[in-house]
Amino acid sequence: MLYPGSRFRMADDLLEIYIRQLLEAHQTPEVGVNWQGGEPTLMGLDFFKRSIALVEKYKKPGQQVGYTIQTNGVLLDDDWCAFFKAHGVLVGLSVDGPKALHDAYRVNKGGRGSFDQVMRGLACLQKHGADFNILCTVHAANGDHPLEVYRFFRDELQARHIQFIPIVERATAEDLAATNKGWGEQDSAERRLYTQSGALVSERSIGAEQFGRFLIAIFEEWVRRDVGTVFVQTFDVALGSWLGQHNLCVVSPTCGNSLALEHNGDLYSCDHFVEPDHLLGNIRDKPMADMVASDKQRRFGCAKFETLPKYCRNCDVLFACYGDCPRNRFIKTPDGEPGLNYLCAGYKLFYHHIDKPMKEMADLLRQGRYADEVMQSYTIGDNGLPGKVGRNAPCPCGSGRKYKRCHGADAKSRSQPSSTSH
């Protein structure tokens, strides 16, 4: 509805303008090229091959370019997966849980669930050894099944990096019925331009406390057996907050570095605000770097902190939350001030719940030790046993391996407050 009649395909000359501007503008050696959609694979593999050829053409000496793509996985085949592997593209695969939960909302135009196709895509990624993350949206259908979802990713899909994204679809009283119907089901007369407005949510949306409980249930499992081997972005980012770092825009005091470029060159303040009020300009007319540094964009980023209600400023978990993303700040505080995050009650539950183990992990890291040692104290707490798990004893996670090789100091991968992705 924002671009009526468009084919939503980026022209080759615009792609070249974008890649050139992106590489020229970066003063840091690392540059990220990140493809989102819609569904980016609909552009066809040649588009991505051209993109990488253009990066090679415009790359400055010493620049290292990392690629990510967010996909529903439906079109992935040997050609795609070999390409991802060859160019080190990190693939974010959208999966919402086992078949019944995934297919609740992820359906094609005919109403058929995409789970089987996604699993074929994942098997192909794994066959080619391409790096992948699981991106799981958390909504009304899977929100009460946290462990089923998490264990499916960890045990069935062998996922080691997982992101959970809460689904909050805002609506006004006038368009709630159409919103509930689903975008694909609406006829053209009903369709409207979606903007972040209204104080109601669709029936697909997750509840605030439901989201908090979802995260807590998974945390309880993770902190007992998966620290250092499974990386859940929310937990990594939280650990960063307990260490005084802000590793993701939504938990930072200010934001504004996650802009979105549309297929026609229009640049928007954020990919959650691709709407007229947040259009910065078009990269054919103005250098992208100027728009990123513009007053309008600076005001957008600073508003994250400046518009926080008093209730947030006085909150004991402000350091971990910072009011979360402004797109979800549409409810009132208990004393009637507008601008509280719809998910606040869930975040309060979650951040209070994880305070003690987060403090413990942060202390371990400050001492130069590994965060996974927290699993010992949890297991001891569960069993009421004194002392530590011996290095050669069976790991409490039940893997059958020795503790030191499984989750102890000799285990290969380590928990780091690492994620800075959007």
| Shortest Å, Cβ 29 to ligand SF4 | 23
Question: Of 240 and 256, which has the nearer Cβ to ligand SF4?
Answer: 256
Q: Candidates 78-86, 208-216, 291-299, 319-327 — which segment interacts with ligand SF4 by CB under 6 A?
A: 319-327
Of the two residues 15 and 318, which places its CB atom closer to ligand SF4 in the complex?
Answer: 318
Of positions 93, 270, 365, 395, contacts ligand SF4 by CB under 6 A: 270
Taking the complex as a whole, the smallest distance from the CB of residue 204 to ligand SF4 amounts, in Å, to: 19
**Identity of the amino acid at 209:** E
Amino acid at 290: D
Distance CA 282, CA 267 (A): 6
Cα–Cα distances in Å, from 215 out to 119, 247, 326?
A: 24, 18, 20
Residues in contact with ligand SF4, shown as a per-residue x/- string from 271 to 310 under the rule CB under 6 A: -x-------------------------------x------
Segment contacting ligand SF4 (CB under 6 A): 18-26, 160-168, 208-216, 318-326? 318-326
Cα(159)–Cα(153) distance, integer angstroms: 5
Quick one: which of 319, 350, 384 has its CA closest to 146? 350
Residues 200-229 that bind ligand SF4 (CB under 6 A): none
- Interface with ligand SF4 includes 153 (CB under 6 A)? no
How far is 209 from 331, CA to CA, in rounded Å? 14
| 231 near ligand SF4 (CB under 6 A) | no
The least distance separating ligand SF4 from the CB of residue 95, rounded to whole angstroms, comes to 21
Near ligand SF4 by CB under 6 A, which window of 143-151, 165-173, 321-329, 389-397?
A: 321-329
DSSP 162-190: EEEEE---EE-TTTHHHHHH-GGGS-TTT
301 vs 357, beta carbon nearer ligand SF4: 301
Q: Which is nearer to ligand SF4, 136 or 178 (CB)?
A: 136
Q: Which of 46, 103, 116, 271 is catalytic?
A: 271
d(CA 75, CA 42): 8
Query: Which CB sits closer to ligand SF4, 229 or 341?
Result: 341
Q: What is the largest CA-CA distance in the chain?
A: 68
How many Å separate Cα 370 from the centre of its chain? 25
Q: What is the phi/psi pair of residue 132, to 5°?
A: -140, 150
d(CA 58, CA 16): 9
Taking a C-beta distance cutoff of 8 angstroms, is the pair 146, 169 a contact?
Answer: no
The whole-angstrom separation of Cα 79 and Cα 66 is 20
Give the number of C-alpha atoms closer than 13 A to the C-alpha of residue 215, restricted to the C-beta side.
28
The answer to whether 312 touches 261, Cβ cutoff 8 Å, is no
Active site residue 79: no
Q: Does 347 bind ligand SF4 (CB under 6 A)?
A: yes
Number of residues this chain uses to bind ligand SF4 (CB under 6 A)? 23
149 is written with which tokens?
A: 């979802």
How far apart CA 382 and CA 267 sit, in angstroms, is 52
Is 312 one of the binding residues for ligand SF4 (CB under 6 A)? yes
Least distance (Å) between residue 346 CB and ligand SF4: 9
Q: Does 348 bind ligand SF4 (CB under 6 A)?
A: yes
Tell whether residue 249 is a contact of ligand SF4 (CB under 6 A): yes
Residue 87 or 348: which CB sits closer to ligand SF4? Answer: 348
Q: Which positions touch ligand SF4 (CB under 6 A)?
A: 249-250, 255-256, 258, 270, 272, 304, 311-312, 315, 317-318, 321, 323-327, 341, 344, 347-348
Residues with a catalytic annotation lie at 271
